[in-house]
Structures are given as C-alpha cells and as structure tokens.
C-alpha cells in the first residue's frame, strides 16, 4: 500500500474513536457488562470507551491496534477507516469517568418470582429442586424494577458481594450485566464438601448442568465466572484447599476454548494437576 502521511492530530483522532460505536456501525453485536461491553462474537474481548482488552491473549490498546489485530490491516489501512475515509464518521469516545470504586448493593427484590420461575422452569427447563436450593440459599431472586433474574455471589462471611442480572426471556438480545460495584472474585457459586470444582461461563450454564447431572450435586462445588475471567475460580480454590480436581465446563467456541487453555495454564502454575 502506498505511504499515507498522517498528522499527529489525525493519529490522535483515530486513536480516540468510540470503539463500541465503531463496531456497532460495522455490524458487530455487543453485550453490556457493567461499565464496558463484551463482543458477542468473541467473549474474551471487552470494550470500554476507546480502549479494548483481549482477556484470552492478554493484550489490548486503542482503536488503531484493535483494527490492526482484528482485521489484519497495516497501520495506514487501520487509521483510514477510523478517520471516516470510507464514508462513515465515528464519534470520539467520552473522557473516562473516575475509576473510584462504586459501592455495591443488590437490586431491590420483587415480592414474587413469577417471571423468573416461568423463565427458568418452563423455558430453560431447570430442575425445580435445584432451583429451589439456590433460591432458599438467597442466591437467586427476581428484581422489582425490571423482573430480571438476579444471580447473587456471596463472600466467605455470607455477605452479598456480586450480582449478575439476566433478562427473564430470550426474545431479541437478552440483557446480561453485572451490577455496579460487583467484586469478580465472588461471582455466583455453590460450595460443597468434595474435592471437585466445576467452572462455567454463565449461571444458567451451571444450573443446566445440575439439571442434567442431579445425582448428589450438592456435594460438589460450582462457580459461574459471569464471563471468562479467572478471579472467581481462583478465589474458590484459595478458600477451600480440599478442592483439587477442576473441571472446566466452558462453551465450545473460540473464546471458550481459548479461555479453557488459559485457565488450565493458570491452574498448572499453581500446582493443580487434576484438570479436565
């Protein structure tokens, strides 16, 4: 490709483009996740303002490096579309908000769980005994405002520290987001007494697995990462040294398989050998 000179102002403009809007206008679907977005086509990639991070590859940067890596383009080929030279103008990302931690609180609960029960029992076919066990433990409820299913994560003292909200329906694009201030270490989980820990991407994956394999399920431990991060899995292992066998139950797609390889490496670094 012929050399294209860019001014410093143009380079700054290109590297300040709102990445979420850039991807939407190019047909990509994004999933809200707290204060950022996750790519529907690759859950390991998160977007926030003009920044991106690939949790599987453990690399990130600004819009120019994203376009280069994602679409296999050279530097000038990446800068040109970001500057609108393909006829599409992209807005600049808003200045990042303060990174001061937000105080966590559970969404107010609905007096009933009619919609969540209908969704989980009738549409997702979750076993009623399994669902009842989680509800009685205060780990699943229906929020009052939007009637979403709320999957609660508690710390070692039994205090709620994480909440994952999921729309009680599958029409259109389902709404999935972690409540502001959630601590990723305490994602939705169940603590058993055996030496097995099962690791999932989403709470409904976890519940579906227990529905398929209900025999003596309460004896084992389970965690839903609510994404592909490793924090909750590692916290579970730190809290219970009896957990020695880790079973990674992630999606069989590119992001899930790459995450399984990455999590396996993390486990081996910490001396775990029983991984499947």
% pLDDT > 70, the chain: 94
- The per-residue pLDDT of the chain, averaged, comes to 89
| Measured distance CA(28)–CA(248) in Å, rounded | 28
Write 30-36 long-range contacts (CB < 8 A, 24+): 31/173, 31/176, 32/175, 32/176, 32/177, 33/176, 33/177, 33/178, 33/227, 34/177, 34/178, 34/179, 34/180, 34/182, 35/97, 35/180
Confidence at 35, pLDDT banded by 50, 70, 90 = confident
> How, if at all, do strands 245-249 and 274-275 pair?
parallel
Q: What is the pLDDT of residue 45?
A: 86
User: What pLDDT score was predicted for residue 240?
Assistant: 95
State yes or no: pLDDT of 270 exceeds 70: yes
Single out the residue of 67, 43, 65 nearest to residue 56, CA to CA. Answer: 43
Q: What is the DSSP letter of 26?
A: T
Please provide residue 43's backbone torsions phi and psi, each rounded to the nearest 5 degrees. -65, -15
Handedness of CA 225, 230, 231, 233 (dihedral sign): positive
CA distance 160 to 152: 7
* Token pair listed for 198: 């099962």
Q: Of all residues in the chain, what percent carry a pLDDT higher than 90?
A: 59
pLDDT tens across 40-78, in order?
888 778 898 999 988 767 788 899 999 998 888 888 888
Model's pTM, two decimal places?
0.71
6, pLDDT greater than 90: no
Task: Kindly state the tokens that stand for 122.
Answer: 């009738």
Angle value at C-alpha 65, between 64 and 70, nearest 5 degrees? 105
């Amino acid at each position: 490709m012929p050399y294209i000179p860019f001014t410093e102002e143009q380079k700054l403009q290109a590297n300040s483009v709102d990445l979420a809007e850039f991807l939407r206008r190019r047909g990509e679907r994004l999933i809200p996740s707290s204060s950022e977005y996750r790519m529907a086509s690759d859950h390991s990639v998160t977007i926030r303002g003009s920044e991106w991070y690939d949790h599987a590859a453990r690399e990130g940067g600004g819009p120019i490096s994203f376009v280069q890596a994602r679409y296999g383009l050279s530097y000038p080929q990446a800068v040109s579309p970001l500057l609108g030279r393909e006829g599409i103008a992209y807005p600049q990302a808003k200045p990042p908000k303060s990174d001061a931690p937000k105080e966590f609180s559970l969404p107010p609960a609905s007096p009933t769980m009619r919609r969540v029960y209908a969704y989980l029992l009738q549409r997702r076919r979750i076993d009623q005994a399994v669902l009842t066990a989680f509800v009685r433990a205060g780990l699943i409820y229906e929020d009052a405002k939007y009637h979403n299913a709320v999957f609660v994560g508690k710390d070692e003292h039994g205090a709620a520290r994480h909440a994952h909200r999921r729309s009680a329906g599958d029409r259109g694009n389902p709404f999935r987001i972690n409540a502001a201030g959630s601590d990723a270490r305490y994602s939705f989980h169940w603590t058993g007494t055996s030496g097995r820990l099962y690791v999932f991407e989403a709470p409904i994956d976890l519940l579906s697995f227990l529905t398929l394999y209900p025999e003596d399920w309460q004896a084992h431990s389970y965690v839903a990462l609510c994404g592909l991060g490793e924090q909750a899995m590692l916290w579970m292992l730190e809290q219970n040294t009896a957990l020695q066998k880790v079973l990674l139950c992630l999606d069989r797609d590119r992001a899930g398989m790459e995450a399984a390889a990455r999590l396996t490496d993390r486990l081996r670094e910490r001396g775990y050998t029983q991984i499947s």
